[in-house]
């Protein structure tokens, strides 16, 4: 499981169906959908009904990122709306393991996300066992124009090492202000799935997606 996940948050909202087609044709594996509740993060985005509305317009894997308090409340609805991956925050769940298990029980892949201030030590073996994807936030989530946090690279490396030590093969997904200037470093540190927004949607989307995919694949071979 590796590749890039363009974030629909940065797409042209006047023509989302067309944007999804362009993402798919350019060869991206996933589309990243950020759901914000104005509580866990200081912003709002879109909701489950929009995911359901977009589902029929593409075969892309729907990579849903729940920046929402107690996301366990919405998991069956996300499945019904057509989500494939559901990532929840360790900081947002009273019962992390149960939440991840519920996602799997509903037939989706479960992601566990860490905010920049959360230490990777919060990822216990039990939590990692219940997750299919480890998601590292490389900015403070839910705010506009945040800078990439360089300390994230060390965190990605540490998580990669933890997974190796536990002999667990799970992709690491990274999310937050990743563009052409830093994607190689992020892949070098051990990331498999790259969420990217502005860098892809600014200019020619297809060319940007192809260029970033090549950089990710090249980086992984090294």
Q: Which residues have a catalytic role annotated?
A: 34, 175
Q: Show the tokens assigned to 160.
A: 């990669």
CB of 200 to Zn ion, least distance (A): 14
Sign, CA torsion 16/70/197/135: negative
- Using the contact rule CB under 5 A, the part of the chain among 19-27, 32-40, 166-174, 199-207 near Zn ion is 32-40
- DSSP element (H, E) containing 197: none
- Using the contact rule CB under 5 A, the part of the chain among 28-36, 100-108, 116-124, 157-165 near Zn ion is 28-36
Q: Is 135 in the site for Zn ion (CB under 5 A)?
A: no
Q: How far apart are CA 209 and CA 190, in angstroms?
A: 20
Helix axes 48-55, 16-25, angle to 10 degrees: 60
CB of 150 to Zn ion, least distance (A): 19
Q: Is 65 in the site for Zn ion (CB under 5 A)?
A: yes
Q: With respect to Zn ion, which residue has the nearer C-beta, 202 or 218?
A: 202
- Using the contact rule CB under 5 A, the part of the chain among 58-66, 95-103, 163-171, 206-214 near Zn ion is 58-66
CB of 86 to Zn ion, least distance (A): 12
Q: Is 132 in the site for Zn ion (CB under 5 A)?
A: no
Q: With respect to Zn ion, which residue has the nearer C-beta, 65 or 155?
A: 65
Tell me which of 10, 34, 63, 132 binds Zn ion, using CB under 5 A: 34
Q: Is 37 in the site for Zn ion (CB under 5 A)?
A: no
Using DSSP, state whether 63 is helix, strand or coil: strand
Please list every residue from 170 through 199 that binds Zn ion, using CB under 5 A.
175
Q: Show the tokens assigned to 147.
A: 């800078």
Using Cβ positions, the residue closest to Zn ion within the complex turns out to be 65
Strands (E), the chain: 3-6, 30-36, 61-67, 85-89, 109-114, 133-137, 172-175, 193-196
Q: How far apart are CA 113 and CA 173, in angstroms?
A: 9
DSSP symbol at 122: G
Binding residues (CB under 5 A) for Zn ion: these are: 34, 65, 175
């Amino acid at each position: 499981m590796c590749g890039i996940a363009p974030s629909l948050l940065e797409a042209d909202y006047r023509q989302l169906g067309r944007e999804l087609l362009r993402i798919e044709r350019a060869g991206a594996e996933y589309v990243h959908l950020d759901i914000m509740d104005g509580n866990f993060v200081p912003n709002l985005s879109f909701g489950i009904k929009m995911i359901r509305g977009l589902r029929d317009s593409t075969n892309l894997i729907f990579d849903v990122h729940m920046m929402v308090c107690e996301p366990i409340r919405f998991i069956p609805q996300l499945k019904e709306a057509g989500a494939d991956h559901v990532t929840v925050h360790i900081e947002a769940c009273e019962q992390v393991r149960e939440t991840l298990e519920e996602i799997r029980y509903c037939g989706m892949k479960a992601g566990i996300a860490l905010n920049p201030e959360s230490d990777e030590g919060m990822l216990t073996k039990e939590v990692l066992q219940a997750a299919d994807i480890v998601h590292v936030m490389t900015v403070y989530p839910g705010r506009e124009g945040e800078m990439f946090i360089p300390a994230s690279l060390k965190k990605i490396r540490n998580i990669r090492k933890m997974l190796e030590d536990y002999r667990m093969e799970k992709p690491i997904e990274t999310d937050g202000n990743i563009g052409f200037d830093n994607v190689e470093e992020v892949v070098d540190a051990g990331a498999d799935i790259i969420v990217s927004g502005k860098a892809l949607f600014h200019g020619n989307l297809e060319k940007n997606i192809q260029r970033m995919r090549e950089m990710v694949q090249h980086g992984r071979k090294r």
